[in-house]
Every structure is written in C-alpha cells, then in structure tokens.
C-alpha cells in the first residue's frame, strides 16, 4: 500500500518531493533536513506516529500531518488532533480517498471539524478517558508506573515527589475517572499510555 501511496503522491503536481522512512527517529531527522509542507505517517505502531506528530508540531508547526493508522478510535483521533495532526485515516482507506484528503490538507483545509472534536471530547468525557488524556506529564508518568505495578514509594522515588503527593495524585485521577481502585485505573490507562507518553 505504501508503494502505491508514494507513487500516487509523486504523481500529484502540488507535491515536489516524497521521502519515505521506516521509523520515527528517521522521520524526525528528515523533517529537520528538508522541512516539508506535508508529513504522512504510516508507522507500524500508531502511537509512534502520534509521538512524531507531537514533536513535529512543536518544532515545525507549519508542517501539516496525516496519520494512516489501523487505530481510528476516538481517543486516538482526539490525541492526534491535540498534537496538530490534520487528519487521521484508516489504513484500510483507498488510495483515491487518501489522495483526496491530501489535496485538502495541502490546500490548508483541516479535515477535522470542531464539531467532530467536540463530539469526541464528549464521548471521552462520558467514558472517563478525557481526564487521562488531559493529565499533566507527571500524572501520566505516575499512571505508567501504576500500570507497571509499582508502589507509591517506588513511584515517588522515580518522579521525585513524596509518597503522600503520589497518593494524592492517584486519588485525584481515580476520582476524575470514576474508578475505585488502582487496578481499574491501570486497566483504563494502559491501552492509551504509549501514545500519550513522550518517546519520540
């Protein structure tokens, strides 16, 4: 599919160069060298695509980004949008559909409408995921350690906070997410942790 997409993009008269890379680190290096107008990410790990997009939006905010992903669930789309991604499309989309979206993105038309973002935000709030997605970096780090089964003291040593502060932060997240124990919180956070924690 990627070969067909690359050939289709090359055939577009609005795009000068197409560079393909296989991993996030190479993508960031190429972005630093070439500063393209458009970035299409289709990595094996969708969370890595989000992390590259996150770094890209910080360093090169003018770059428009399309993520092709097998994961197009609301939480993934919402996080991607928060990191400046112009569009998230399923890897099952046809070549013509992808090229049509690329044309719109190049023209500066965002494919994500504010009403869609608001709808997804409501769904995430109703499901309890929104507080996890909007959590501070330190809270996400604490939640990752909760998922790993660490005690409050072990977490405190790693994040340089007191055990009581760690307990307070976990209690606040439990309350915001409507969960009654750490296990429920860990089960909820684990599937989305890789796209929220900085790794790129």
Condensed to tens digits (0 to 9), the pLDDT of residues 44-99 reads 888 888 888 888 888 988 888 888 888 787 778 888 888 888 888 888 888 888 88
Residue 100 and residue 106 in contact, taking contact as beta carbons nearer than 8 Å? no
Q: Which domains does the chain have, with CATH numbers?
A: 2-124 (3.40.50.2300), 128-196 (1.10.10.10)
CA 126: distance to chain centroid?
A: 20
Condensed to tens digits (0 to 9), the pLDDT of residues 14-47 reads 666 667 777 888 888 888 888 888 888 888 888 8
Q: Phi/psi class of residue 198: alpha, beta or left (left: φ > 0; alpha: ψ in -120 to 50)? A: beta
Query: Residue 200 — very low, low, confident or very high, per pLDDT cuts 50/70/90?
Result: very low
> Tokens standing for 6?
């690359």
> What is the pLDDT, as a whole number, of residue 65?
87
């Amino acid at each position: 599919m990627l070969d067909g997409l690359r050939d289709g993009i090359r055939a577009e008269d609005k795009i000068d160069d197409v560079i393909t890379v296989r991993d996030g680190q190479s993508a960031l290096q190429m972005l630093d060298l070439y500063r393209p107008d458009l970035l299409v990410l289709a990595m094996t790990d969708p969370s890595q695509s989000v992390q590259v997009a996150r770094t890209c939006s910080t360093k090169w905010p003018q770059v428009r980004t399309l993520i092709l992903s097998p994961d197009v669930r609301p939480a993934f789309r919402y996080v991607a949008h928060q990191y400046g991604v112009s569009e998230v499309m399923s890897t099952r989309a046809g070549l013509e559909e992808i090229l049509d979206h690329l044309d719109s993105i190049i023209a500066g038309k965002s494919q994500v409408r504010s009403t869609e973002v608001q709808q997804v935000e409501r769904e995430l709030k109703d499901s309890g995921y929104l507080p996890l997605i909007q959590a501070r970096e330190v809270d996400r780090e604490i939640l990752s350690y909760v998922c790993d089964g660490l005690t409050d003291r072990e977490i405190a040593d790693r994040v340089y906070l007191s055990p009581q502060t760690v307990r307070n932060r976990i209690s606040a997240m439990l309350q915001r997410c409507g969960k009654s124990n750490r296990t429920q919180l860990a089960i909820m956070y684990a599937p989305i942790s890789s796209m929220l924690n900085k790794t790129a």
